[in-house]
């Protein structure tokens, strides 16, 4: 493939089980090759701190080329990558099948995996990426109250900044003792593949690509930090005559461990979930998750790691983003477009991990169906990026990345603002400080329905 052709780019499988994948010399050779291509292009300089870090290293070297950069400094570039995939999916002209075959995120992931094998990361990073255990502990009654109070304490946050490495000003999530699974159980409805949690009026109607029955992968964040978001999603789906069940036994999607480079743990988490998801798919259910990163794991990241897993491919084909699903239903004439309330002007941030799924701007399209609603779309990184925004060493960089988004939201003077990624929404809210609370588009939609 040559430059200027019309052939679609395609990301190749991640050969992470090959011994050469973890060879340091082989890795450094590939890093130098790709860094040299990036140095000659510089198209992605505004996406994150990885590229400015690389280009500064080159520009400050004796040769003004990549060969003048100390290979020991390559890790500085790797550490700034949070695997948003935007460079590969929205900017890079050299993705396969181009003969140069550049996949910068996959190369960064390989470097993180090699680094993880060579030297275990900080205990902080191992802890905050162990979301199943950590979030479950912090959601225990009394413990959640103490954790939330500590997060609001300026004194304790300064201590945590110095001792743990969690920045004193970083936005951290709220933990709920009454998790989503507890809320569902307290409502005397089934958890898992059993009786539906909620059913619309009448039998579910299948569309061209949807079954009309959804099993929700609630995710760690949806269960422990924003259970109301999942409740809103249930309300919206049932209002659209979709039968809903909750996958209450599912574990973390694996994205936090992927960003850490712990690929063996990612594989374990995939194995823990695949039978649960397959039970749903075999029972005629589509799968939806409210967090774009969790959807991306099963639609792209895991399928590229496990290309021969037929069950995973079936799960991938049945996995949807909430608004991707609603727009498919709308295309078939099956979506409810009877709205009770306008939303006014909405400043909508398109989450990076949603954009790279390449199904289009479905959230904006569906919200735009609401009369009296103007959607201003913002397609730049929010700066949250998983754990990146909470770490002491990267918080200020995260705020710098977020600044253009925050400025555009402020300039829009919206009635409502938010993001498909609730963590991105909180980051934007943190940057604005004075424009109220971010709302997930699902919550906006629920309000427009008058629910």
- Calpha distance 260→112 (Å, rounded): 7
Within its chain, how far is the Cα of 365 from the centroid? 20
Supply the pLDDT for residue 5.
58
- Calpha distance 113→111 (Å, rounded): 5
Supply the pLDDT for residue 76.
95
The token pair at 350 is 């398109």
- Calpha distance 444→239 (Å, rounded): 14
If phi over 0 gives left and psi between -120 and 50 gives alpha, with beta otherwise, what is residue 241? left
Residues paired with residue 243 on neighbouring β-strands, in sequence order: 213
Supply the pLDDT for residue 197.
55
Reported confidence tier of residue 9, pLDDT bands at 50, 70, 90? confident
Cα three-residue angle 427-383-181, rounded to 5 degrees: 50
Domain range 337-449, CATH architecture: 3-Layer(aba) Sandwich (3.40)
Per-residue model confidence as pLDDT tens digits over 379-431: 999 999 889 999 999 999 999 999 999 999 999 999 999 999 999 999 999 99
Q: What percent of the chain has pLDDT over 90?
A: 89
Q: Are 339 and 449 in contact (CB under 8 A)?
A: yes
**0.95 surpassed by pTM:** no
Residue that has been written with the tokens 């979930």 in this structure: 273
Cα three-residue angle 359-363-368, rounded to 5 degrees: 125
What is the pairing mode between strands 213-216 and 344-349?
unpaired
Alpha helical stretches, state H, 131-262:
131-138, 143-152, 154-163, 180-186, 219-224, 227-239, 255-260
Kindly report the number of other CB atoms within 10 A of residue 313's CB atom: 13
Average pLDDT over residues 370-379: 97
Reported confidence tier of residue 165, pLDDT bands at 50, 70, 90? very high
Sketch the domain layout of the chain as residue ranges: 19-118, 180-329, 337-449
- Calpha distance 446→451 (Å, rounded): 6
Residues paired with residue 418 on neighbouring β-strands, in sequence order: 348
Q: Which of 420, 268, 267 is nearest to 353 (CA)?
A: 420
3-state secondary structure of 349: strand
**164 pLDDT more than 70:** yes
Supply the pLDDT for residue 193.
45
Per-residue model confidence as pLDDT tens digits over 249-288: 899 999 999 999 999 999 999 999 999 999 999 999 999 9
Q: Which of 310, 289, 273 is nearest to 214 (CA)?
A: 289
The token pair at 124 is 């902080």
- Mean pLDDT for all residues in the chain: 93
């Amino acid at each position: 493939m040559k430059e200027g052709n019309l052939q679609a780019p395609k990301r190749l499988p991640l050969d992470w089980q090959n011994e050469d994948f973890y060879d340091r010399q082989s890795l450094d050779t590939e890093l130098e090759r790709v860094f040299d291509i990036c140095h000659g292009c510089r198209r992605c300089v505004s996406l994150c701190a990885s590229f400015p870090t690389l280009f500064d290293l080159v520009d400050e070297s004796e040769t003004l080329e990549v060969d003048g950069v100390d290979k020991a400094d390559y890790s500085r570039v790797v550490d700034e990558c949070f695997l948003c995939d935007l460079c590969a999916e929205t900017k890079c002209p050299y993705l396969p099948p181009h003969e140069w075959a550049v996949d910068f995120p996959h190369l960064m992931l390989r470097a993180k995996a090699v680094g993880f094998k060579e030297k275990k990361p900080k205990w902080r990073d191992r802890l905050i990426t162990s979301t199943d255990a950590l979030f479950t502990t912090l959601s225990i009654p009394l413990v959640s109250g103490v954790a939330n109070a500590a997060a609001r304490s300026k004194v304790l946050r300064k201590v945590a900044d110095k001792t743990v490495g969690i920045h004193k000003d970083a936005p951290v999530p709220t933990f709920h003792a009454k998790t989503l699974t507890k809320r569902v159980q307290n409502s005397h409805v089934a958890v898992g593949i059993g009786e539906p949690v909620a059913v619309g009026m009448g039998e579910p109607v299948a569309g061209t690509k949807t079954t009309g029955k959804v099993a929700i992968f609630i995710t760690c964040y949806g269960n422990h930090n924003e259970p109301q978001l999942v409740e809103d999603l249930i309300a919206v789906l049932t209002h659209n005559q979709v039968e809903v069940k909750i996958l209450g036994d599912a574990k973390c999607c694996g994205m936090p461990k992927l960003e850490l480079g712990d690929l063996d743990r990612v594989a374990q988490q995939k194995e823990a979930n695949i039978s649960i998801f397959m039970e749903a798919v075999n029972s005629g259910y589509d799968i939806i998750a409210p967090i774009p990163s969790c959807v991306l794991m099963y639609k792209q990241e895991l399928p590229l790691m496990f290309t021969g897993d037929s069950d995973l491919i079936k799960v991938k084909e049945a996995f949807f983003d909430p608004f991707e699903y609603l727009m498919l239903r709308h295309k078939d004439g099956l979506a409810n477009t009877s709205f009770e309330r306008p939303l006014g002007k909405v400043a909508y941030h398109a989450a990076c991990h949603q954009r790279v799924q390449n199904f289009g701007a479905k959230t904006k399209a569906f919200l735009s169906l609401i009369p009296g609603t103007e959607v201003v779309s913002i397609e730049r990184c929010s700066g949250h990026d998983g754990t990146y925004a909470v770490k002491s060493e990267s918080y200020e960089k995260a705020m710098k990345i977020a600044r253009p988004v925050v400025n555009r939201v402020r300039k829009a003077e919206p009635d409502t603002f938010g993001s498909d990624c609730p963590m991105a929404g909180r980051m934007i809210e943190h940057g604005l400080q004075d424009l109220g609370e971010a709302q997930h588009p699902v919550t906006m939609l629920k309000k427009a329905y008058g629910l």
